[in-house]
Amino acid sequence: MSSWRKCVFGCKYVSRLFNLPTEETRRRKWLEFIFGNAHQKTSKNLFVCQRHFTRECFQNYGYFESGLTTKLNLTADAVPSIKDDDGAPTAGTSQERPSHTASSDAEAASASVSTPPSQSVTSGMLPMSTRTVSTQLSTGTLKLQHVRSKGVQTKILTIDSSTQTDSSWLDLSSTPVKAGASGVRKRQRLEMEEGEEEDVDISDISLSQPHDSTYDPGASATDVSEVTVVEPTSEFEDSKYIVFESSLKQLFQTCPICKRYCNLQKRSSGTFVSYIQSCPHCLYNRKWDSQPIMGSTPVGNLQLSAAVYFSGGSYIKMEKICKAMNLQVHQYNAFRRHSRSFLEPAIYHKWKKDQETFFEELKRKGKVAVGGDMRADSPGHSAKYGSYTIMELESEKILDIQLVQSNEVGGSFYMEKEGLKRGLDLLEANSIEVDYIVTDRHTQVKTFLRGKNITQYYDVWHLEKGLSKKLEKLSKEKECQLIKKWLPALKNHIYWVASSSKTGPEKVAKWTSLINHIQNVHTHDDPEFPKCAHPDRVSKDPSKWFQPGTVALYKVEKLLVNKRVLGDVKKLSSDYQTSSLEAFHSVIIRFAPKSVVYPFVGMMCRLYLAGMHFNENVKRQQATSKGQALFKVAYPKYKKGKPMAKPVKTKPTYEYVSELMRLVFTEVFPEPGRFVEQLSAVPVPEDLSAQFEKVPKEVVVSAHVSRFSRAAGGPDHDAGSQHTARPDQETPGVSGVQHMQE
């Protein structure tokens, strides 16, 4: 330091001087503090050392105090304010930390050190008693050391003197806790998601800085080839990595100031972990969090719950995977709290917003052709849920999904009609005019649409499927085995009739020509179809054709040209089919498997997620490679081993997941009230078991007798026998409860 550059107060052993500011207002404040006169005339070369500023005046005081930077930077409005009682300057905060690193006498320098006993560097300015000591410091002790890795790994033998506990001082619940007006949060009652113990008093640690308080961006490596810093757009979009606990300990086991071993205190809650590092030698301490905290909820825990839910995954399966590799995750109850409070309200809100946007587009379009079909969560008449889907057939986008529970309508047989009714009422309420609807041949739907004066057409695949099953059943009879040879031709004929532009009686005439064809009769009296479309072929084997008067021909004719089938043929759709709806049903399986029972709201939200995924990826193009369209060869079961080519589509996108993430973290989490209220307005039917009388658990358990105890002790054997308990096997009831909750 040059002799002319000194603190205006004559301070000694200073390491940082600050020149008089040029900005007029600040300059007057500085002069008022130094000379007691804001208009004092002085030279430009007037300096004040850092001892006369409070720690709030520095931008990077925490990094300087911890020894990770050697240069202090003033804030834009910093003004000196600290003096001794006699007017001489004094140190308002500590400047340097003592170092126990050996150094030569030539490098030694005398320094004044003020060390608070155990104050965290992340805390604010607090009154404290200080003392001044002198020590020898190496000139390189407080410099940030940058070591370039050469790819050599060594393991240092150390003595672990750390103290670790797994409790937490944070209330990391699912309910956000807001800071007060002053910006200082009160210490919350300790309620951990993981149920850890609380045994360490750290009330003086600030929770306002979730990131590492000792990291100094200005002191990072300048070599771009060595370090690449990427600023994430938001906390939830930041990249995550799997870090081993042993690797984390290596970061905190030695003091960055004196290089001695430190005491460590670990706190964890699911994916969140925090370390308090305290050095018993130089009294250095700091707190490090593995992830940000929003309110009182770790961001990683909430985002993991959101990722599992929005991708259609299962928390139970995810938890098994994580436990297999000892990867720490939050508990199932926390996942359910996240779902009820944030995730399901976000899904419902986004679906309704997207639906409103699509409805506005359809209003400008005019009349629309729609398709409808129901999907049950289990086969037969034992289904609990039925979801009726309405699709706009031109764009193949899902318009609406209605979830019906069987006890709402008196049985699962009536769910399809109720779902269609609710869907059409919603379209009518939003001024969507339906031109016609394509459905299957459900009798209740047929009657309902006739009463609503809505034109109905039938899907070809459903008609072909029903007739093919009946023909296959007939082909197993002894006198009708010839039908088996004609099954492929009969199926092709159904599609040929449906694909024609003929309607009404003309389509029926084309359908009945099949009977003439299978008898090898190529002409008939119908002027529209005097003969078959294919060239005449003379067969020398009469057994290939159905013979008049045979049982096989009679049963085939009775099945294909009866009154109901002919009436359905008139209504076969020539323009659109519901094959895209069937494809959507296969997508639902990935979000809501039939083997898992979900609550009503959970099932509804998973259906909406499937709808978002389908609408986003419905128009995927065929993939190409070097200009050639890609195909894959499949061997489907219904083809009985016959290969078929399938186009390879481009990879699906998941932009709806990103939008849901942004919605949760930017809107729902800060103010969940209005979103939860919107979802609460959905009417939820009572459970199927609500109609039955509840029996106390003790009565049920006492009446439980396994088949083993019954065999051992007979029918009068005590129900409390040891054979009734099977601790070595998984309890079906427990597993069922988990799935019910999910």
Chain segment 199-217, per-residue pLDDT in tens: 333 333 333 333 333 334 4
What percent of the chain is predicted at pLDDT more than 90? 36
Q: For residue 293, what are the β-bridge partners?
A: 298
Label residue 418 exposed, middle or buried (CB < 10 Å: 0-12, 13-18, 19+). buried
pLDDT in tens, 76-111: 889 998 876 444 433 333 333 333 333 333 333 333
What would the mean pLDDT of 686-702 be, rounded to a whole number?
87
The Cα–Cα gap between 98 and 683 comes to 67
In this prediction, residue 707 carries a pLDDT of 61
Please, which residues bridge with residue 305 across strands? Answer: none
Q: Is the pLDDT of residue 626 over 70?
A: yes
Tokens coding 276: 């308090």
HSE, CB side, 13 Å, CA atoms: give it for residue 379. 0
Q: To 10 degrees, what angle do helices 563-570 and 505-518 make?
A: 130
Name the band, by pLDDT with cuts 50, 70 and 90, for residue 166: very low
Are residues 450 and 599 located together in one domain of the fold?
yes
Distance of alpha carbon 617 from alpha carbon 614, whole angstroms? 5
Mean pLDDT within 158-169:
39
275 beta partners: 266, 288
As a whole number of angstroms, the distance between CA 643 and CA 701 comes to 55
User: In terms of domains, do 242 and 203 share one?
Assistant: yes
Q: Examine the domain organization and report whether 129 and 217 are in the same domain.
A: no
Q: Which of 674, 737, 726, 736 is nearest to 704 (CA)?
A: 726
Count Cα neighbours of 607 within 13 Å in the Cβ-side half-sphere. Answer: 27
* Residue 523 within any structural domain of the chain: yes
Q: Is residue 204 part of a domain?
A: yes
Residue type present at position 545: W
Q: By C-alpha distance, which of 606, 608, 610, 587 is closest to 598?
A: 606
Provide the residue type at 74 as one letter. L
Other C-beta atoms lying within 10 Å of the C-beta of residue 670: 12
Q: In sequence order, what are the residues at sequence separation of 6 or more whose Cβ sits closer than 8 angstroms to the Cβ of residue 113?
A: 94, 95, 96, 97, 98, 132, 133, 134, 135
Pair 129, 33 in one domain: yes
166 and 246 fall within a common domain = yes
User: Residues of 177-211 as b/e, b for ≥16 C-beta within 10 angstroms?
Assistant: beeeeeeebeeeeeebbbebeeeeebeebebeebe
Tell me if 333 is assigned to some domain: no
More confident residue, 63 or 462: 462
Is 21 in the same domain as 122?
A: yes
Domain shared by 442 and 491, yes or no: no
Examine residue 493 and state whether it is found in any structural domain, yes or no: yes
Same domain, 441 and 511: no
In a domain, 469, yes or no: yes
Distance (Å, whole) CA 56 – CA 61: 8
Indicate whether 115 pLDDT > 60.
no
State how many domains the chain has: 6
Check if the beta carbon of residue 408 is closer than 8 Å to that of residue 418: yes
* Mean pLDDT for the stretch of residues 171-184: 42
Q: Is residue 319 part of a domain?
A: no
- When pLDDT is cut at 50, 70 and 90, the band that residue 711 belongs to is low
- For residues 219 and 297, membership in a common domain is answered with yes
Distance of CA 621 to the CA centre of its chain: 26
pLDDT at 289 over 90: yes
Rounded Cα distance, 482 and 244, in Å? 69
Residue 338 inside a domain? The answer is: no
User: 410 and 375, same structural domain?
Assistant: yes
Mean pLDDT computed over 630-645 = 86
The residue segments making up the domain with residue 218 are 158-178+188-306
Cβ(614)–Cβ(580) below 8 Å: no
Q: Is the pLDDT score of 706 beyond 60?
A: yes
Burial 384-413 (b: 16+ CB within 10 A, else e): bbbbbbbbbbebbbbbbbbbbbbbebeebe
Classify residue 577: in a domain, yes or no: no
**If residue 313 lies in a helix (H) or strand (E), which one and from where to where?**
none
Q: CA–CA separation, 614 vs 115, rounded Å?
A: 62
Range among 79-83, 385-389, 484-488, 727-731 rated most confident: 385-389
Is residue 505 located within the same domain as residue 605?
Answer: no
In this structure, the chain runs to a length of 742
Largest CA distance in the chain: 128
For residues 272 and 167, membership in a common domain is answered with: yes
**Is the pLDDT reported for residue 133 higher than 80?**
no
Report the chain's mean pLDDT, rounded to a whole number.
75
